[in-house]
């Protein structure tokens, strides 16, 4: 159990209010028709499943219902950073 | 070589209270093996056992970062069944069930396999349609299964709540009589002991920190107890499969999640069978020791922390209490989590990889325990022949590329 600081509500809220929405920065391919089967499989099914500090998407289901980004340790569940999609993308994420 | 267990050896050692040999001898790694198995859980130990027993490969090491029986094998709710919907899955789980049925004799170790039956409850008309479809599929595949109605369930399990005045009334169930439970850590010990008797080295407290790959071929592993060479490496590390895959430069179609379970204080016998419900999401049996063994679901987020959120436990407890109001004052003793690697189609990967000589057996998700002997058996043959065992063919990792997924979410996605 942990709490997440919602970047929109601007306060820490219990994790129960949020739902996880998967690994972050998986962009939908711009031209799916041009993709090989391997590339499509990688986009749809394959995941990094990182053990460590993991960028992921969460949605504040029982609050503002907005999606945002969380960098969270998958080793001890510590929330390290939260950000909106405007603030961070795959280019400047650390 | 360990002594063979028999009534005579137990009586003799018991009367003298000495002469108890160590169940599993401790081994130090040699510099080279024919096959290295990464992960000393049930599946890994079973793989090593069948490699030695059926494939004639005894120069095998099982490297385990913790201790035998300390991972998911000793953390699950021990349910064993084979009533899966799809032909591919039910063949694999039924193969496993047949091995379970002779396992204690085969291993010379009592794994306390108890075929007490499993009820999979249905709470809606659609549940019942799905159950009938699955039972029909099971019967066609030679798996024993019947549909029972709520009256029959009540007759068999008098303490269950079949009232219509609940949020999800019980309408019926599928019942597999050959299904049941086993002593989970006993399974790990039994396989470990039997494998080491055949010459396999079981190396505990030995964590793999890297995999050596040269020109697309696996050469060996680096561990906390030194480097070990082998031309063939089988990875059976459940929740940590992605971590191991990464060492070899591979990605997997799995994500790791915490799966929780809890047990009550020990009670007199009250529940003689296993009851599972996907709809309200909980499953319960009573161990031979007398405690209720209750399993919950997974948390939606990725984790390697071996613990989950309280809301999952609360949700599961609520479900169990709706099914069994009599348990409302039972006190819970312990609660824990294990890390399970979940595949998108709720089916495992038993497969060679792009790295020659490196094989993966992973993605069992929330339901791997029941498959322990079958999984080890087909994986051993897959490694030994460098060709997938017939039953493992549909579980090739390429199915995520070709699209030939095995959609088992109906029978496997949540409850186990």
Contacting residues of B for A49, CB less than 8 Å apart? 242, 252, 254-256, 302, 341
Sign of CA dihedral B337, B339, B341, B344: positive
Q: What's the rounded mean pLDDT across residues B345-371?
A: 96
Which CATH number does the domain housing residue A30 bear? Answer: 3.30.2270.10
Coil/strand/helix, residue B23: coil
Cβ count near B282 (within 10 Å): 25
Q: How many CA atoms lie within 13 A of A60 on its CB side?
A: 23
Q: Residue B415 — very low, low, confident or very high, per pLDDT cuts 50/70/90? A: very low
DSSP count for chain B of H helices, then E strands: 12, 19
Number of independent structural domains in chain A: 1
Does residue B411 register a pLDDT over 70? no
Residue B413's pLDDT band (boundaries 50, 70, 90)? very low
Average per-residue pLDDT in chain B? 95
Q: Tokens for A58?
A: 């969460």
What does the angle CA B254 – CA B256 – CA B262 come to, to the nearest 5 degrees? 135
Does this model's pTM top 0.80? yes
> Helices B42-54 and B372-385: crossing angle, nearest 10°?
50
**Is residue A43 in some structural domain?**
yes
Say yes or no for a CB contact (<8 Å) between B400 and A46.
Answer: yes
Does the pLDDT of residue B10 top 90, yes or no?
Answer: no
Nearest to B254 among A15, A49, A74 (CB): A49
Q: Is residue A48 part of a domain?
A: yes
**Residue A1 domain-assigned?**
no
From chain A, the residues in CB contact with B252 under 8 A are: 46-47, 49
Q: Is residue A5 part of a domain?
A: no
Q: Does B251 touch chain A (CB under 8 A)?
A: yes
Domain membership of residue A81 (yes or no) is: yes
Residue B44 carries which DSSP code?
H
- For residue B87, what are the β-bridge partners? none
- Interchain pair B300, A19: CB under 8 A: yes
Q: How far is B312 from chain A (nearest CA, A)?
A: 10
Nearest to A46 among B252, B304, B305 (CB): B252
Average pLDDT of span B378-385:
98
Domain boundaries, position A25: 14-93
Given a cut of 80, whether residue A2 has pLDDT beyond it is yes
- The model's pLDDT over A12-70, given as tens digits with 9 standing for 90+, comes to 999 999 999 999 999 999 999 999 999 999 999 999 999 999 999 999 999 999 999 99
User: pLDDT value at position B416?
Assistant: 42
Distance from CA of B239 to the nearest CA of A (A): 10
- Residue B364 is given by DSSP the state B
In a domain, A86, yes or no: yes
Q: Is B303 on the interface with A (CB under 8 A)?
A: yes
Q: What is the mean pLDDT of residues B156-163?
A: 98
- Judged by a CB distance cut-off of 8 A, whether residue B301 touches chain A is yes
- HEC string of A37-87 equals HHHHHHHHCCECCCCCEEEEEEECCCCCCCEEEEEEECCCCCEEEEECCCC
Closest-approach residue (CA) in chain A for B343 = A45
ipTM of the prediction? 0.95
> Considering only B14-28, B237-251, B343-357, which range has the smallest mean pLDDT?
B14-28
Give the burial class of B289: count Cβ atoms within 10 A of its Cβ; 0-12 exposed, 13-18 middle, 19 or more buried: exposed
Sign of CA dihedral B361, B362, B365, B366: positive
The minimum CA-CA distance between A5 and chain B, rounded to whole Å, is 16
Residue at A2 is within a domain: no
In a domain, A9, yes or no: no
* pLDDT tens, position by position, B191-223: 999 999 999 999 999 999 999 999 999 999 999
Task: Please give the Cα distance from B222 to B31 (Å, whole number).
Answer: 11
CA distance B279 to B256: 23
Question: φ and ψ at B212, to 5 degrees?
Answer: -85, 120
B146: β partners: B175
Q: What is the pLDDT of residue B410?
A: 63
């Amino acid at each position: 159990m942990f709490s997440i600081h919602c970047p929109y509500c601007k306060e820490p809220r219990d994790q129960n209010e949020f739902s996880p929405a998967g690994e972050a920065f998986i962009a939908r391919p711009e031209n799916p028709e041009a993709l090989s089967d391997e590339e499509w499989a990688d986009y749809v099914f394959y995941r990094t499943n990182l053990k460590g500090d993991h960028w992921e998407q969460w949605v504040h289901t029982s609050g503002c219902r907005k999606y945002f980004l969380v960098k969270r340790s998958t080793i001890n569940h510590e929330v390290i950073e939260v950000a909106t999609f405007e603030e961070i993308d795959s280019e400047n994420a650390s | 070589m360990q002594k063979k267990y028999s009534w005579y050896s137990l009586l003799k050692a018991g009367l003298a209270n000495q002469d108890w040999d160590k169940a599993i001898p401790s081994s130090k790694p040699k510099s080279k093996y024919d096959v290295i198995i990464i992960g000393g859980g049930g599946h890994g130990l079973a793989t090593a056992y069948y490699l030695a027993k059926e494939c004639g490969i005894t120069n095998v090491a099982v490297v385990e970062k913790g201790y035998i029986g300390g991972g998911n094998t000793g953390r699950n709710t021990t349910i064993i069944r084979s009533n899966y919907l799809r032909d591919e899955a039910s063949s694999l789980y039924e193969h496993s069930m047949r091995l379970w049925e002779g396992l204690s004799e085969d291993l010379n170790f009592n794994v306390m396999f108890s075929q007490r039956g499993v009820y999979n409850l249905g709470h809606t008309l659609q549940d019942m349609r799905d159950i009938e479809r699955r039972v029909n599929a099971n019967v066609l595949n030679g798996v024993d299964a019947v549909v029972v109605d709520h009256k029959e369930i009540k007759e068999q399990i008098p303490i269950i709540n079949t009232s219509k005045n609940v949020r999800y009334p019980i309408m019926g169930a599928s019942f597999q009589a050959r299904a049941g439970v086993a002593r989970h850590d006993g399974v790990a010990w039994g396989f470990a002991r039997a494998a080491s008797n055949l010459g396999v080295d079981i190396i505990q407290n030995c964590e793999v920190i890297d995999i050596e790959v040269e020109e697309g071929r696996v050469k060996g592993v680096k561990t906390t107890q030194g480097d070990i060479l082998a031309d063939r490496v089988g990875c059976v590390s459940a929740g940590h499969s992605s971590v191991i895959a990464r060492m070899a430069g591979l990605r997997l179609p799995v994500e790791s999640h915490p799966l929780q379970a809890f047990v009550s204080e020990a009670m007199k016998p009250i529940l003689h069978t296993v009851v599972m419900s996907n709809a309200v999401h909980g499953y319960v049996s009573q161990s031979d020791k007398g405690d209720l063994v209750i399993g919950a679901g997974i948390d939606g987020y990725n984790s390697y922390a071996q613990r989950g959120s309280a809301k999952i436990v609360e949700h599961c407890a609520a479900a169990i209490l709706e099914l069994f109001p009599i348990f409302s004052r039972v006190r819970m003793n312990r609660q824990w989590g294990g890390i399970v690697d979940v595949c998108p189609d709720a089916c495992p990967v038993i497969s060679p990889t792009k790295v020659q000589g490196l094989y993966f057996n992973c993605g069992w998700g929330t339901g791997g325990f029941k498959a322990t002997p079958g999984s080890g058996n087909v994986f051993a043959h897959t490694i030994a022949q460098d060709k997938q065992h017939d039953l493992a063919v549909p579980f090739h990792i390429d199915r995520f590329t070709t699209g030939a997924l095995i959609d088992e979410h109906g029978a496997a996605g949540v409850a186990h």
